[in-house]
């Protein structure tokens, strides 16, 4: 598969980074072999720099820590709420398809802490249970420019993968395991 070959080159060139879950002091020591991981996440260098601890004791730092926790949760196979309708998602949706649907891009919706607007990370699936996060931004900075952010994420994809499109599934089962689908 050409997409897999391009991903391998992007990892070797450090354009993308394979994310491993963090362990913090006091966490139980669990040794996971790569084959034990139910899912995989690859991130851009911009995201990798943003989600490496320590996190500032600020609203921004807490939101970046929540993004990291979301990505780790995804990696460890936790249940994710998903909505395929970009225009009718419940407010607590974790992962939502963005318009245009046929472009196959998704938004990770970090909604914590509750006293903030959260943040969004945009990317696409490389394969089932393998997500590539390309961009992130605080929701209040995106403002009304969400479509522009999506367009930039699509350009980021093309800069890495050329004409090779993201993974396309006929059903959510072909994107993810262990999810709850929100219908709107």
Q: Say what the pLDDT of residue 21 is.
A: 87
**Residues 158 and 59: beta-carbon distance below 8 Å:** no
In this prediction the pTM is 0.91
- Assess whether the previous peptide bond of 100 is cis (omega < 30° from 0): yes
Q: Say what the pLDDT of residue 33 is.
A: 55
Q: Say what the pLDDT of residue 183 is.
A: 80
Q: What is the DSSP letter of 54?
A: P
3-state SS class at 145:
coil
Q: Pairing between strand 80-83 and 16-18?
A: unpaired
- Assess whether the previous peptide bond of 113 is cis (omega < 30° from 0): yes
Helices (H), 21-58: 45-50
Of 56, 65, 49, 63, the closest CA to residue 135 belongs to 49
Q: Say what the pLDDT of residue 26 is.
A: 56
Q: Say what the pLDDT of residue 163 is.
A: 95
For residues 121 and 55, give the distance between their C-alpha atoms in angstroms, rounded to a whole number. Answer: 17
For residues 158 and 42, give the distance between their C-alpha atoms in angstroms, rounded to a whole number. Answer: 16
Structural element, H or E, at residue 80: strand 80-83
User: Alpha carbon 3 to chain centroid distance?
Assistant: 18
Give the domain range for residue 43.
2-182
Rounded alpha-carbon distances, angstroms, from residue 177 to 78, 110, 123, 181: 9, 20, 18, 11
**Residues 82 and 47: beta-carbon distance below 8 Å:** no
Q: How many domains does the chain have?
A: 1
What residue ranges of the chain have pLDDT lower than 50? none
Q: Say what the pLDDT of residue 113 is.
A: 77
């Amino acid at each position: 598969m050409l997409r897999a070959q391009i991903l391998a080159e992007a990892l070797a060139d450090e354009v993308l980074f394979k994310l491993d879950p963090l362990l913090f002091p006091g966490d139980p020591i669990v040794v996971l072999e790569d084959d034990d991981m139910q899912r995989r996440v690859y991130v851009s260098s911009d995201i990798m720099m943003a989600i490496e601890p320590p996190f500032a004791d600020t609203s921004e730092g807490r939101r970046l820590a929540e993004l990291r926790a979301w990505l780790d949760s995804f990696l460890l196979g936790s249940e994710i709420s998903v909505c395929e309708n970009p225009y009718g998602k419940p407010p607590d949706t974790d992962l939502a398809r963005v318009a245009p649907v046929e472009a196959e891009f998704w938004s990770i919706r970090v909604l914590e802490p509750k006293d903030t607007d959260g943040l969004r990370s945009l990317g696409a699936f490389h394969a089932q249970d393998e997500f590539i996060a390309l961009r992130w931004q605080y929701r209040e900075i995106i403002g009304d420019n969400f479509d522009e952010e999506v367009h930039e994420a699509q350009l980021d994809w093309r800069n890495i993968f050329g004409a090779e499109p993201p993974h396309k599934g006929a059903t959510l089962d072909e994107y993810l395991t262990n999810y709850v689908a929100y219908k709107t």
